[in-house]
């Protein structure tokens, strides 16, 4: 686990791109991309839903149907902020993609446009 931000004690779970890809293939993960709509449209993880941080609310995340909800952004900062919002709302979403979409792209994994 990593601690994000300076002086913060809240720990977020992370999943690496290869592990997330395997989870998606096995229908074990629902990816929620918290980047803005234009960023999402330019390229995103296949099957991801877009819920921009600017309007993010944990209550807006659709039913994951027994899948793990994994938040993603470009590099990890916005998904970490969204995880903080989930925690404050008492919602059990606590995992995001390590390195965000940038790490996903760098790993050569599929991209949907």
Backbone angles phi, psi at 103, to 5 degrees: -70, -35
48, 51, 58, 73: which is the annotated catalytic residue?
73
Euclidean distance between CA atoms 32 and 46, whole angstroms = 11
The verdict on whether 86 is a catalytic residue reads no
SS3 content of the chain, % helix, strand, coil (to 5): 35, 20, 45
**Mind telling me the catalytic residues?**
73
């Amino acid at each position: 686990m990593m601690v994000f931000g300076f002086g913060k004690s809240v720990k977020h779970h992370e999943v690496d791109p290869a592990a997330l890809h395997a989870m998606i293939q096995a229908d074990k993960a629902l990816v929620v991309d918290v980047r803005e709509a234009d960023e999402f449209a330019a390229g995103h993880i296949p099957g991801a839903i877009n819920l921009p941080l600017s309007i993010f609310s944990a209550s807006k995340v659709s039913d994951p149907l027994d899948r793990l909800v994994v938040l993603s952004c470009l590099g990890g900062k916005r998904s970490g902020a969204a995880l903080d919002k989930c925690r404050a709302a008492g919602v059990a979403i606590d995992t995001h993609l390590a390195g965000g979409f940038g790490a996903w792209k760098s790993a050569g994994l599929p991209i949907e446009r």
